[in-house]
Structure 1
């Protein structure tokens, strides 16, 4: 962890984590997760650090393979399966599809909420779920609930929280300095994310079944 930058907030939070493997509530420490990943040749790198891998992730997080996020005693994983990104947060009713366009925005939102984010560096083991989703990618549903932000209507482009999260993401990457450019990027990101393919209830059921099967196989790898 120190290799990712000893002056980062993520590293300071890492040092404050309990040193025991698991507490009475069943919460695993960072050390246990780090050791478990090392068995597979994987490493945790703080998302906002001076490490070159972190800089690459800030510039284009979609090029990474997975992120592990922690807030207090809750852990969740955001990872690529096949060619698509999914939020595998156990607090959700089911895995949540995240478009490449919205991935940076979603990570910025998590940081704004106080999550510590770590890049999973290394080659993830290939599994059957990757093949399934490469051949049969999950289609986004037309319902607003399929998007990263659970908006109530299509007027989400005026949501100040969404705008603030996107600006945080743009500032982190250092790609945009002009307010006009930020506004254009915001509108484009929202437009692309709100483009949903129309599907029948039967197709939605098939997609849900396929997704559940793929995620189950992924967790078994």
Structure 2
């Protein structure tokens, strides 16, 4: 599991973490994504200006905050889509009629990115196994083939938007190593906040006797 790149949550930069965990490396920085967002903002402004720079709609548009990024570090699906396009990758909405009509088993895909309430995270296949690379976890979470479809269905039920990644992902160390071996996970990673709370409890009350976290 050490070969798997897993960028943990910093601030609200989950879009950056989602992209880097998908691509398995430090491919994007907040500055890179901000540049894409500003470019999208400018394209939108130019389209609005075509209707007349003196129009009420244009003035209202200029007064509104960017829909592609905010000060917290959130980036929109358009920013993520444009960032992936640099690598020849595209997004397809998992529950769209177009995709569902293909009746493709999820385990035959390469990766998914998921979004709910401005949090983005990646689920990716490395070698022959699937991993939840959510930046809110303390490490990669192994997902069995039999559980993948159930996990995606559970995310949809919770309100997540799920996108299928199409195209050739860049080569990475984890893919090369896991192509020839399978990993086992004895203990599921915790959410980062839970890990900190656990450490605090142990330091105040002695060793935890509750056993490993079962997770999903």
TM-score (norm 1): 0.53
Question: Within 2, Cα distance between the matches of 1:66 and 1:54?
Answer: 16
Q: Is the 8 A contact 1:61 1:104 kept in 2?
A: yes
State the secondary structure of the residue aligned to 1:137.
coil
2:105 is equivalent to residue 71 of structure 1: no
Moved over 3 A (4+): 18-21, 53-56
2:145 is equivalent to residue 100 of structure 1: yes
TM-score (norm 2): 0.54
Question: Within 2, Cα distance between the matches of 1:55 and 1:121?
Answer: 16
Question: Within 2, Cα distance between the matches of 1:55 and 1:128?
Answer: 34
Q: Which position in structure 1 is the counterpart of 2:125?
A: 80
Question: Within 1, Cα distance between the matches of 2:181 and 2:93?
Answer: 32
2:138 is equivalent to residue 90 of structure 1: no
Which structure 1 segments of 5+ residues have no match? 1-17, 147-221
Higher mean Cα deviation, 73-82 or 18-27? Answer: 18-27
Question: Within 1, Cα distance between the matches of 2:95 and 2:67?
Answer: 26
State the secondary structure of the residue aligned to 2:123.
strand
Q: Which position in structure 2 is the counterpart of 1:34?
A: 81
Give the Å deviation of 1:21. Answer: 3.2
Question: Within 2, Cα distance between the matches of 1:138 and 1:81?
Answer: 10
Q: Which position in structure 1 is the counterpart of 2:161?
A: 116
Q: Which has the larger radius of gyration?
A: 2
> Which structure would you say has the larger RCO, counting Cα contacts within 8 Å and 6 or more residues apart?
2
Aligned alpha-carbon RMSD (Å): 1.9
Matches for 1:13-24 after TM superposition, within 5 Å: 20-24=67-71
